[in-house]
A = this chain, B = another copy of it.
């Protein structure tokens, strides 16, 4: 990418992903990422604390969006449907078709490194806690709030895995709805 392109952050993310894929996450340095992006290391560190954070960019915004949709969902919505509405909204904003290749590459890098896997699991656990809190503020009691939040994470992970599959032709929100329908069928008494 050319030097005068304005989106330094986006270029750094793309360069990092490309290098992690080519040489492995462990073998890639910040200096190499900056060079590939046509930027300085100083610019890198204005955007990211370290090479790991490049992969978790946007996680807080994702959580905030999901929590706010769960909190503001119409009153009659059942807890699980309020949680699903949050996941669908996240899909519409974050997991758009143009981001799918990026998401798949990112997932492959994370799968290759135990430390990154742990960080991903920790982020998902934090998301689960935040969804449970939002449900409690809607008046959902425990254990229903915790259980619904955990199940929402299960739906999220399943939808995400299906979405990044190369043969997939569906959008993320559709896969959330389908995974939730499957869940309902699986747990039908």
Contact = CB atoms under 8 A, between A and B. Distances in A.
Contacts of A148: 186
Contacts of A153: 150, 154
Name the residue in A117, A150, A179, A184 with the highest tally of chain B Cβ atoms < 10 Å from its Cβ.
A150
Contact of A150 (B78, B125, B154, B180): B154
A50 interface: no
A187 interface: yes
A182 B143 contact: yes
A56 to B, nearest CB: 14
A65 interface: no
A134 to B, nearest CB: 15
* Copies of the chain in the assembly: 2
A186 B80 contact: yes
A183 interface: yes
Contacts of A119: 118
Interface stretch (A8-16, A22-30, A100-108, A155-163): A155-163
B158 A147 contact: yes
Nearest to A79: B186
A63 interface: no
Interface string A114-129: 1001110110010000
Given A78-B186, A147-B183, 8 more contacts: A80-B187, A121-B122, A144-B182, A147-B186, A151-B183, A154-B154, A184-B187, A184-B188
